[in-house]
Amino acid sequence: MKIYLMTALLALVMPAQLLANTQQQADTTIKYHTNVVFQPNDSRFTADTTLTIPAEKLTHQAIALLLSKQQSVTEISGAQLASSNIESSPRVPPWNRITLNFKNTDQSNYKVRLKYSGAIDEEAGHGNYINAQGAHLSLDSAWHPFIADFATKMTGTLALTVPSNWRVYSPGQQERPTQNTVMIRNQMPAIDVVLFAQQSPQIITTEHVEVIYQGIEAKQAQHLADDATQCLTSLNATMRAENTLDHADLIILDRSGPSFARGPYISMSKSSLSSREADYQYICHELAHNWTPFADAMSHDYWMMESFAEYISAQQLKQRFGKEAYADAVKRWQNLAKGVEFVWRSDDPKRASHRVNYGLGPLLLKRLADRMGADNFEQLLAWYTAHEVTQTEQLLNKIGALTSKETQVWFTHQLAQKTP
């Protein structure tokens, strides 16, 4: 209470400018400023990036980054840098782990500059590429350095040099100062830097959605655009208002690798499309990620964000296509969950499998909703989507607070046991 009062008082007595400065200091997101020059004819690019790292993100004055081994680093520099070290990542062998050791100072931020260049290995199955027609880049190819814990988020600016006939899609505000240069300022914190570029892309536009597609018919792309618009409108009406999605770019590519969402930027694989109902749920799942807090992608807490997105998307499916379609989705969860060991155990740090994240996890959330009752579960969902719920214990404690210790213990056992 006291702290709240003091903050309120400060807001009253501090001039606006000073307040803005205080807020700026409180911003502890790592910032990147990256210049990228594409050489599409060779599937290559060169990059020059400066990272600004808040002191509180350092552990013993050090931090580790990941970057693909396809990228050769030509420079690591910075006035505050004491030393750096590049070695093979023990967790992901095709990538390098770059450890940065900074000098001991009392500064609030540390800067490092990295220059590197290389190709994108299109044979690796991650769905990233650079070719004469365009580029698709994300964490999956580790084309841009990111923090090795798979959890620390960044915001920043990309300055791209691209062929003049490329259109570029990436989360954030975009400007095109010249035909060959694109600037993208992204203020939405994320663990990686993503972009898609395409020469003369095929596009379907609705009021809130742009579908950029390859390898499917225009008619199907129109369906996807209509479905995305409908689900986006419905999610905006049901989910937390502070986090409204005013538009989305749906990129459907003929590629391998996983689908993913970074707020309004959604990249999907053509091969994952099937029936109209299943596609609707698939799109809703990706859109729902706008409201699911990001847990460490390599930890045993990651199931929450996938299983909640799956649960939310199934509710949307029920709303649009009715109970039978919903029953089919539940059946799919049940099939995936067959033979699965468990969802989460406090003493097992491993990231759960696909079958857990998209099968047993949402199935147990459904069971929890049945036990808690609709109102309580709605409250749980509202709380989950409004807070940085990145650890399963937070969820379990909240379940206890909303219901009873008994229900909390029951759900803890549900998560930890074999499929019944």
Binding site for Zn ion (CB under 5 A): 306, 309
Q: Which two tokens stand for residue 252?
A: 């459907």
Element (H, E) at 147: strand 146-147
Alpha helices, H only, 239-355: 276-288, 303-321, 323-337, 354-355
How large is the angle between the packed helices 361-372 and 323-337, nearest 10 degrees? 120
Q: Which residue, 47 or 245, is less far from Zn ion as judged by CB?
A: 245
Sign of CA dihedral 231, 233, 234, 239: positive
Least separation in angstroms between residue 259's CB and Zn ion is: 7
As measured in angstroms, the least distance from the Cβ of 312 to Zn ion is: 11
- DSSP H/E element including 129: strand 129-131
The amino acid occupying position 280 is Y
Q: Compare residues 140 and 306 and give the one whose CB is closer to Zn ion.
A: 306
Q: Whole-number minimum distance, CB 358 to Zn ion, in Å?
A: 8
Cα distance between residue 361 and residue 369, in whole Å: 12
**Shortest distance, position 289 Cβ to Zn ion, whole Å:** 6
Please, are residues 416 and 270 in contact by the beta-carbon 8 Å criterion? no
Cα separation, 195 vs 136, whole angstroms: 6
Other beta carbons within 10 angstroms of residue 324's beta carbon come to 10
Residue nearer to Zn ion on the CB measure, 129 or 282: 282
Looking at the DSSP bridge assignments, the partners of residue 189 are none
Report the residue number, 32 or 302, with the smaller CB distance to Zn ion.
302
Whichever of 309 and 352 has its CB closer to Zn ion, that residue is 309
Closest to Zn ion by CB, 102 vs 366, is 366
How far from the centroid of its chain's Cα atoms is residue 80's Cα?
30
Of 30 and 312, which has the nearer Cβ to Zn ion? 312
As measured in angstroms, the least distance from the Cβ of 346 to Zn ion is: 24
- Shortest Cβ 353–Zn ion spacing (Å): 14
- Enter the tokens of residue 216: 């499917």
CB of 267 to Zn ion, least distance (A): 11
Task: Compute the distance between CA of residue 379 and CA of residue 384 in angstroms, rounded to an integer.
Answer: 9
Nearer to Zn ion, 85 or 272 (CB): 272
Output the smallest distance, CB 123 to Zn ion, in A: 25
Measured from the CB atom, the residue of 114 and 284 that comes closer to Zn ion is 284
Q: From residue 22, how far is each of 3, 189, 232, 344 by CA, in Å?
A: 16, 19, 35, 39
For 360, which DSSP code?
I
Report d(CA 151, CA 50) in Å as an integer: 20
User: To the nearest whole angstrom, how small is the minimum distance from the Cβ of residue 308 to Zn ion?
Assistant: 9
Using CA atoms, how far apart are residues 70 and 62, in angstroms rounded to an integer? 24
